[in-house]
Amino acid sequence: MNTPSTRPHVLLYTDGGAEPNPGRGGYGSILTYNGKKKEFSAGFKMTTNNRMELLAVISGLQKLKVPSKVTVYSDSRYVVDGIEKGWAKSWRAKNWMRNNKEKAVNSDLWARLLDLLDLHEVNFHWVKGHAGHPENERCDVLASIAMRGRDLKDDPGYIA
């Protein structure tokens, strides 16, 4: 197994969206390693923007074949702050409750993301959306194409 110092360094760019929100949704992800890029996307019949932002990161991390050092670039404050500010870990520790009365939203995806973060050494960076960042713009295009596709998937975790 790779130790943190010998892990490959991968860049993961992500974006997701739903139109309307909630509505048809999609995500796009780009993995970059050693000068090579791979793009991924998927579209869903009914979902939310936040679910697609989370799924974009999850899908990218799931593609990695070995434990890696990953730098994630996302325009979603929800995703970046959820990890960097410790919200997701706190919700999990409280049995997926935000407080005594409110359930944490998207706990199925947050649980998957936290499990993946245990496998990889991941740092999150927020980028301003629609501000000319080439990879973020490309992920937005991938997500938009995916949500307008014909073979849209069901999002089993989406609750109306």
Catalytic hit among 28, 43, 53, 60: 53
Residue 159 falls within a domain, yes or no? no
Q: What's residue 53's pLDDT?
A: 98
pLDDT at 129 over 90: no
Residue 156 falls within a domain, yes or no? no
pLDDT at 133 over 90: no
The domain that holds 57 is classified in CATH as 3.30.420.10
CA distance 31 to 13: 7
Q: How confident is the model at residue 3 (pLDDT cuts 50, 70, 90)?
A: low
Q: What's residue 47's pLDDT?
A: 98
Catalytic hit among 16, 17, 28, 43: 16
Residue 3 falls within a domain, yes or no? no
Residue 56 falls within a domain, yes or no? yes
- 9 annotated active-site: no
pLDDT at 88 over 80: yes
Mean pLDDT of the chain: 95
Residue 110 falls within a domain, yes or no? yes
- 151 annotated active-site: no
- 75 annotated active-site: yes
Residue 131 falls within a domain, yes or no? yes
Give per-residue pLDDT as tens, 108-123: 999 999 999 999 999 9
Residue 42 falls within a domain, yes or no? yes
pLDDT at 23 over 90: yes
pTM of this structure: 0.95
- 81 annotated active-site: no
- 120 annotated active-site: no
Q: What's residue 117's pLDDT?
A: 98
Catalytic hit among 9, 15, 17, 86: 15
Q: How many domains does the chain have?
A: 1
Residue 1 falls within a domain, yes or no? no
Catalytic hit among 25, 43, 75, 155: 75
- 154 annotated active-site: no
Give per-residue pLDDT as tens, 94-103: 999 999 999 9
Closest CA to 138 of 41, 72, 68, 19: 41
Q: How confident is the model at residue 131 (pLDDT cuts 50, 70, 90)?
A: confident
Q: How confident is the model at residue 132 (pLDDT cuts 50, 70, 90)?
A: confident
Catalytic hit among 25, 43, 140, 155: 140
